[in-house]
Amino acid sequence: DLGLVRALHFPRASLPISFALQQLQQLLFSMIVLVVIMVAFRSYPDLSWLLVLPALALQFVFNTGLALIFARMGSKTPDLAQLMPFVLRTWMYASGVMFSIPAMLEDKNVPSWVADVLQWNPAAVYMDLVRFALIEGYDSSYLPPHVWAFALGWAVLAGVVGFVYFWKAEERYGRG
């Protein structure tokens, strides 16, 4: 693979971008299964389900930015790939994938800033948006008002920082 990368001249950013697209495709396949399960349990589509599209678009931009950042880091530290599954799994479990962050911290004696940091976590933000669209519908009392703003902010931040960070080392990739 490295020989091919060195031999051909092409935008190196296409590699992490294609990885992010592949992951988006896998997510869409999983979401098809989710929709089938939801319909089987009599949760039928409504207009709120369309909110999944902008949520996934923002998440894709965020994921692409992270892919670009970690591609540059991984080009100099190949062992980083061995660490990433553990980091991502820990991040996922701390993001409310198995529980609602506000509900979990409701009766605990936890400083309010801890709850805020957990809810500002990009993974939690994107999960909240999809959860709101598919499960909660238009019940705006469920979705905290900051979620769309944070989703946009994380996407722009990761997308811009990732692109610039990756691009600054574009000439060095695959060259030694």
Containing H/E element for 57? helix 52-76
Q: What residues make up the domain containing 164?
A: 2-172
pLDDT of residue 11: 77
pLDDT of residue 169: 85
* For residues 24-31, average pLDDT: 94
Distances (CA, A) of 73 to 17, 60, 64, 136, 166: 15, 20, 14, 39, 9
pLDDT confidence tier of residue 151, bands split at 50, 70 and 90? very high
DSSP 1: -
DSSP 99: S
CB neighbours of 162 closer than 8 A, spacing ≥ 6?
64, 65, 66, 67, 68, 69
Q: Does the structure show a pLDDT above 80 at 142?
A: no
The whole-angstrom separation of Cα 16 and Cα 149 is 26
pLDDT confidence tier of residue 174, bands split at 50, 70 and 90? low
- The pLDDT tens digits of the residues spanning 82-96 come to 888 888 888 887 787
Q: How many folded domains does the chain comprise?
A: 1
Q: Which amino acid is at 129?
A: L
Read off the pTM: 0.82
